[in-house]
């Protein structure tokens, strides 16, 4: 394994470049399918840090794919809220 294959692309879900590349090669999938198969882009940041790399990997491995065929969307970040805040009464 070379050093590039061990690079973590999706920090939230700890998905490496090798996992993304091998999955894209095996299934010849779109960016959306790659996201669903590997969970890249499904973490706390909602794909803000890895979305572009996932798109680039699909473009390089599957040249027949249409860029943005089924675009990946950004999800708003999730913020933890305590039960005390949710159940707080404003009298």
* pLDDT score for 77: 56
Residue 22's pLDDT is what? 95
Q: What angle do CA 81, 82, 85 make, to 5 degrees?
A: 90
**In the prediction, which pLDDT does 10 show?**
93
17-76 per-position pLDDT tens digit? 999 999 999 998 888 899 999 999 888 888 888 988 998 998 888 877 665 565 566 556
CA dist., res. 89 & res. 16, Å (int): 45
Q: Are 89 and 48 in contact (CB under 8 A)?
A: no
27: DSSP letter: H
Residue 83 pLDDT greater than 90, yes or no: no
More confident residue, 83 or 55: 55
């Amino acid at each position: 394994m070379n050093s590039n294959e061990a690079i973590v692309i999706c920090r939230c879900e700890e998905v490496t470049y090798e996992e993304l590349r091998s999955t894209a090669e095996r299934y010849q999938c779109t960016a959306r399918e790659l996201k669903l198969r590997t969970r890249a882009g499904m973490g706390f940041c909602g794909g803000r840090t890895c979305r572009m790399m996932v798109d680039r990997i699909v473009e390089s491995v599957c040249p027949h794919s249409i860029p943005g065929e089924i675009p990946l969307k950004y999800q708003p970040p999730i913020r933890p809220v305590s039960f005390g805040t949710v159940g707080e009464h404003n009298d």
